[in-house]
Amino acid sequence: MIKPPPLAGVIGNPIGHSKSPKVHGHWLRRYGIRGQYLPLHVTDQDLEQVIRALPKMGFVGANVTIPHKTSTLQIADQLTDRAILIGAANTLIFREDGKIYADNTDGYGFIANLKQGAPHWNPKSGPAAVLGAGGAARAIIVALADAGVPEILLSNRTRPKAEALRAEFGTRINVVDWVQAGNMLEDATTVVNTTSLGMTGQPELRVPLDGLRPDAVVTDIVYSPLRTQFLAQAEAMGCTVVDGLGMLLHQAVPGFERWFGLRPEVDDALRKAVLG
């Protein structure tokens, strides 16, 4: 009997905007792998039933996106430490013993993107300044701390959310008032926008950037537009800038490797395929 091709997909609501099918579709074609990666529109109510059914239909795994990243933790049978720490999962592996294993690769994607886009980046060279304290910030803070940054300066419009992350993730985080956010950039050698500001249709990030150090590595999680005003201004000040698309591409690597058995490359051809 011929074995059916392995299936994977991305579970979310809405799902039409997800770029993951383009990412995995490109890799499947590029490496000539007999497999499929599908967008799966799933409501909160159906989430558990769908996740439990997928392995029975030939799925080897799935990505999970908004709004299911947190609730998936309750459904999976086994969680990685980083998924527990971040409080969210984005990658599921359906094991042959029937168990559902959940990981979070967002922090990995963030670091891999910086390493590729700014090969000289040294997380230990100075404090990291993080703008925003939402869901994306959690994975990035965990990843930065793990990479060895000596201090994380964290600023968020709603200050108590930043304080809560400090309480959860430790004293290496220092909270800075949102109106003072420009000042914290003066010491930082890594600067990250984790807010949705600057995204097409959203207001611009208004934090004054004149304090940025020219040797800072500056990155944005926003990738639409690819070159946000934040990155354009940082580049004009001599900083090394890394756009947010790479984080999305790199976070997909561990899942693809586990499901389809080959570690895929993040290169220009992939970026073109995803943007096109």
Positions annotated as catalytic residues are: 69
What are the two backbone dihedrals, phi and then psi, of residue 170, each rounded to the nearest 5 degrees?
Answer: 110, 170
C-beta nearest to ligand ATR: residue: 134
Q: In whole angstroms, how close is the CB of 160 to ligand ATR at the nearest point?
A: 9
Q: In whole angstroms, how close is the CB of 203 to ligand ATR at the nearest point?
A: 5
Residue with smaller CB distance to ligand ATR, 133 or 152: 133
Per-residue burial over 80-99, b = 16 or more CB atoms within 10 Å of its CB, e = otherwise: bebbebbebbbbbbbeeeee
Rounded to whole angstroms, the Cα distance separating 250 from 109 reads: 4
Residue with smaller CB distance to ligand ATR, 108 or 259: 108
**Among 55, 107, 45, residue whose Cα is nearest residue 76:** 55
Per the CB < 8 A criterion, the answer to whether 192 and 140 are in contact is yes
**What is the sign, positive or negative, of the torsion defined by CA atoms of 94, 95, 97, 100?**
negative
Q: In whole angstroms, how close is the CB of 238 to ligand ATR at the nearest point?
A: 26
Residue with smaller CB distance to ligand ATR, 84 or 269: 84
Give ∠ CA 147-12-7 in degrees, rounded to 5: 85
**Among 48, 47, 41, 45, residue whose Cα is nearest residue 13:** 41
Residue with smaller CB distance to ligand ATR, 159 or 227: 159
Q: In whole angstroms, how close is the CB of 234 to ligand ATR at the nearest point?
A: 18
Residue with smaller CB distance to ligand ATR, 198 or 264: 198
DSSP-derived letter for residue 50 is: H
Interacting residue ranges for ligand ATR, rule: CB under 6 A: 132-137, 156-158, 161, 194-197, 203
Q: In whole angstroms, how close is the CB of 245 to ligand ATR at the nearest point?
A: 15
Per the CB < 8 A criterion, the answer to whether 165 and 153 are in contact is no
Rounded to whole angstroms, the Cα distance separating 179 from 208 reads: 10
CA 200 from chain center: how many Å? Answer: 18
